[in-house]
Amino acid sequence: MQYETLMHTFEPIYDNNSTILILGSFPSVKSRKQQFYYGHPQNRFWKVVAALTHEEVPQTTEQKKKLLLNNHIALWDVIARCDIIGSADSTIKNVQPNDMNIILSGAPIKQIYANGGKAYELYLKYCYPVSEREIIKLPSTSPANAAYGFEKLCEEWQQILRETE
C-alpha cells in the first residue's frame, strides 16, 4: 500500500446541548466508505457508548446521531486532511487539523476526550495551542487495541457520563 492524501469529508456531530466532545484521529477506510464515524464493525465505539447510556446499539447513521445528541455528546476528528496508508494511525503525516472552534463556539462543551493515543497526541500538537482547552485521553475503541477488553473499555470510558448529566 502507499500513502494517499485524503480530506475528512463528513460533518462533525453536535448541537447546542452538547457538553462533551469526543475526538478521533481520522476516519478509517470503512468509515470513509460509509461517510460516518466508526464504521468498522469491529470498532467498539458504538457498543461502548450504547452500554454507558443504557441504550440499544445503533445500526443506522440516524440512530447513531440520535444516540450522541440525546446524550449531549459531540463527535469529530482532529484531522481535516492528511497523508495516510489505509486506516493506520501510525502512518499519518502532513496533518492539517480541523478547526475545533466550529464546535467549541457552537456548543457548551465542558470536556474534550480523545478516543486513543493518536487523537490525543495530534490534538495536543495542532489544536491545543489554538483552543487552550484540555483533553483527556481514553483508551481507543479500535479493534487494534487488544489490551482492553469490552468491560475494561467501558470502565475507562465511564467518566464521560459525568459531563453529560
- How many other CB atoms sit within 10 Å of the CB of residue 16? 7
Grid coordinates representing 12 are: 462533525
Amino acid at 104: L
Q: Which residues of 103-113 are buried (b: 16+ CB within 10 A; e: fewer)?
A: bbeebebebbb
Q: Is 98 a catalytic residue?
A: no
Closest CA relative to residue 22, chosen from 141, 105, 130: 141
Torsion, CA 160, CA 15, CA 39, CA 1, rounded to 10: -100
Spot the catalytic one: 16, 17, 43, 94. Answer: 43
Residues designated as active site: 43
